[in-house]
Chains A and B, each alone.
Chain A
Amino acid sequence: NAGVTQTPKFQVLKTGQSMTLQCAQDMNHEYMSWYRQDPGMGLRLIHYSVGAGITDQGEVPNGYNVSRSTTEDFPLRLLSAAPSQTSVYFCASRRLAGSTDTQYFGPGTRLTVL
């Protein structure tokens, strides 16, 4: 199993550009989520999904869109990038059957918005 994979690892955008951060998992996990990590603030939840076709907002959803068309993939879209979105983004997944299950994190995408 590859676990949770994220692409790209690094990205530089200009203000106003759009892009999609990719996330995939091969563990057949129903639950997937996106976090952003900023210095001194830990990880904050952006969006999450409990299964294909179902998404919900987390703590900091503004400026981000998600969709879940398959169990495996959970892309995060920035429609018009802003410097405030400069961050490290982590995707995570776990089985839905019991929130006691371990959540597995991808390696992260470091995004810089100029």
Chain B
Amino acid sequence: AQSVTQPDIHITVSEGASLELRCNYSYGATPYLFWYVQSPGQGLQLLLKYFSGDTLVQGIKGFEAEFKRSQSSFNLRKPSVHWSDAAEYFCAVGDPLSFGAGTTVTVRA
């Protein structure tokens, strides 16, 4: 069975600092991996996805993620956070999608 774990429920980061969100997955085959972002009161927007090939994936809004098969991880990163990045972030795997519990990011001035 496929599953996703996001170990961090809540992360607070200063504006301009770097951000890394962790995601670990369990999947029987080569996984389809996704990161979605949800701003308060909004639906989900796809940030990036990985299926095969280069393990470093670039997404929208300056985000990137790295697939590490040996660690069953797909961590999301951003070098310099903006106040508008405050949101909830979800990692998801497979088809149909299985979602992690989410990580809420707070950005302080």
Contacts and interface: CB of A to CB of B under 8 A. Distances in A.
Interface string A93-114: 0000001101101111000000
Interface of B: 4, 6, 9, 32, 34, 36, 42-46, 49, 51, 90, 92, 95-102
Of the four ranges (under 10, 10 to 19, 20 to 34, 35 or more), the interface on chain A belongs to: 20 to 34
A45 B98 CA distance: 8
Interface string A40-61: 1111110010000000001100
A105 B49 contact: no
Interface string A8-36: 00000000000000000000000001010
Contacts of A74: none
Contact of A103 (B9, B97, B101): B97
A42 B44 contact: no
Contact of A45 (B51, B97, B102): B97
A72 to B, nearest CB: 18
Contact of A99 (B32, B43, B44, B45): B32
B49 A102 contact: yes
B90 A99 contact: no
B43 A90 contact: yes
Interface of A: 4, 33, 35, 40-45, 48, 58-59, 90, 92, 99-100, 102-103, 105-108
Contacts of A103: 34, 46, 97
A59 B96 CA distance: 10
Given A100-B49, A107-B43, A33 B102 contact: no
A87 to B, nearest CB: 14
Given A45-B97, A100-B49, A105-B36, 15 more contacts: A33-B96, A42-B6, A42-B99, A42-B100, A42-B101, A48-B96, A58-B96, A90-B43, A92-B44, A100-B32, A103-B46, A105-B43, A105-B44, A105-B45, A108-B43
Contacts of B36: 105
11 contacts: A4-B43, A43-B44, A43-B97, A43-B99, A45-B96, A45-B97, A45-B98, A48-B96, A102-B46, A105-B36, A105-B43
